[in-house]
Each structure stands twice: as structure tokens, then as C-alpha cells.
């Protein structure tokens, strides 16, 4: 089997132009530019993946800490203000089934 039968067309085309300077010495600078740009893209993608992973973990940690502080139930008076008699309201709430 030849190389063109095993590799997809896109990889063959990319391989051809990234190695452009090695076959002929007059285009050696093109090969250097290709290698430098591929290295830059790889570093940029790696940095993006790392930052997104750290931020995702940080977001989960902050959300977990905030939700652990917030109560499950809050009881207010009908008008939304402070309760006039908190002790009586507490006994009424405890009488209701879960």
C-alpha cells in the first residue's frame, strides 16, 4: 500500500506543506514558519484547556461552598417583613408533617 492509500487527504496535504523546506533548500524558511506556528497553536490550545479546567473546578468549588451556607427553608411573614412572634411561628412550623 502506498502512503496516499493509508492517510486521509487532509493529512497528506498538511504533511506536504509543513515539510516544504526540507525537500528543496530554497524554501527552508517556510518550514521554520510552519513549525513555529504549529508550536504556537499547540501552546495556545493547551493554555486554553488548562484555564477552562481550572475555572470549571473553581466554579464548582465556589458553588458548593455557597450552597452549603444557604438554608433549605426560609419563613417570612405574609407581607415579607420580620415575624411578629418567632417562637409561636416555630411551634406552628414544627407541628406540620414533613
The phi and psi torsions of 75 (rounded to 5 degrees) equal -115, 125
The count of structural domains within the chain is 1
Q: Cell numbers 419563613 label which residue?
A: 75
Tens-digit pLDDT profile for residues 15-46: 777 766 555 556 667 677 877 888 999 999 99
Cβ atoms within 10 Å, residue 49: 10
Determine contact, residues 51/42, Cβ cutoff 8 Å: no
- Cell 513555529: give the residue: 36
Dmax (CA) of the chain: 92
Q: Can you give the pTM of this predicted structure?
A: 0.47
**Segments forming the whole domain that contains residue 60:** 3-95
What confidence tens digit (pLDDT) does each residue in 55-83 have?
988 888 888 888 888 777 777 778 888 88
Amino acid at each position: 500500500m502506498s502512503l496516499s492509500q493509508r492517510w486521509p487527504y487532509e493529512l497528506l496535504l498538511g504533511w506536504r506543506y509543513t515539510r516544504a523546506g526540507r525537500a528543496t533548500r530554497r524554501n527552508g524558511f517556510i518550514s521554520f514558519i510552519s513549525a513555529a506556528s504549529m508550536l504556537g497553536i499547540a501552546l495556545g490550545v493547551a493554555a486554553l484547556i488548562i484555564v477552562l479546567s481550572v475555572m470549571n473546578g473553581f466554579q464548582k468549588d465556589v458553588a458548593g461552598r455557597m450552597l452549603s451556607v444557604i438554608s433549605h427553608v426560609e419563613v417570612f411573614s405574609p407581607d415579607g417583613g420580620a415575624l411578629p412572634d418567632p417562637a409561636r411561628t416555630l411551634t406552628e412550623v414544627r407541628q406540620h408533617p414533613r
